[in-house]
Amino acid sequence: MESFKEYIKESSSCFGYTKNLLAKMTRRKTVDADFFQTKMKRCLKIWDIVFLGTGHMIGAGIYILTGEVAKETSGPALIVSYILAGVAAFLSALCYAEFGGRVPKAGSAYSYGYVSIGEFWAFIIGWDMLVENMSGAAALSVAWSGYLDSLTDLAIKNGTRTVFGSLQKTAGVFGTELNFVAAALVILVSVFMAVGNCGDDKETC
């Protein structure tokens, strides 16, 4: 009898813990006056936002792979892929515009998810955005480095390989040689973002 009571007690405790955990995972951020308070200055104009959004959606791959895919794989049918991708990007932009109007708070999809579907999914979205931006920045910097290297007739790549050697014979997860140009670009942009930029609008800086 005592063991049965202990079992019921432990089950109730476990159920209560699970219920409390689920409640915390699904709790939402309340939208009140304090939620919209921020120390950041609103110094970006409409065209700044447009160009930032366009640059965020259009990656370097469109400039690298378009000719290769059109020549080797799909031919003129490549335009269909661009149309479908454009429709998807347009729908995504409409969603972000709706969320931005309803929740005008810094944090992008993390803040939108926290308000609309709960803390757990906002946690997943936040880490997904972190990995997405890190991998995107790495890929973009490598592509930009490749553009610069092609303009110098592979002088940067050959010089790096001569001084430091090759990391591996064939390209796999990592490149075949060190890419100092890509690393320098990431550091430069990171410093620029950390310092901030208000353009010519000095009153809001």
Would you list the DSSP string of 103-143?
Answer: ---TTHHHHHHHHHT-HHHHHHHHHHHHHHHHHHHHHHHHH
CB 170 within 8 A of CB 176: yes
Indicate whether 3 pLDDT > 60.
Answer: no
Q: Which residue has the tokens 């997405």?
A: 132
pLDDT on residue 53? 78
The yes-or-no verdict on residue 194 having pLDDT over 70 is: yes
User: Using one digit for the tens of pLDDT, what is the confidence trace for 25-70?
Assistant: 777 777 666 666 667 677 778 888 888 878 777 776 777 778 778 8
Determine contact, residues 157/179, Cβ cutoff 8 Å: no
The two structure tokens encoding residue 76? 């003129």
Confidence of residue 204 (pLDDT cuts 50, 70, 90): very low
The Cα–Cα gap between 197 and 102 comes to: 26
Please state, rounded to an integer, the average pLDDT across all residues of the chain.
78
Say what the pLDDT of residue 84 is. Answer: 92
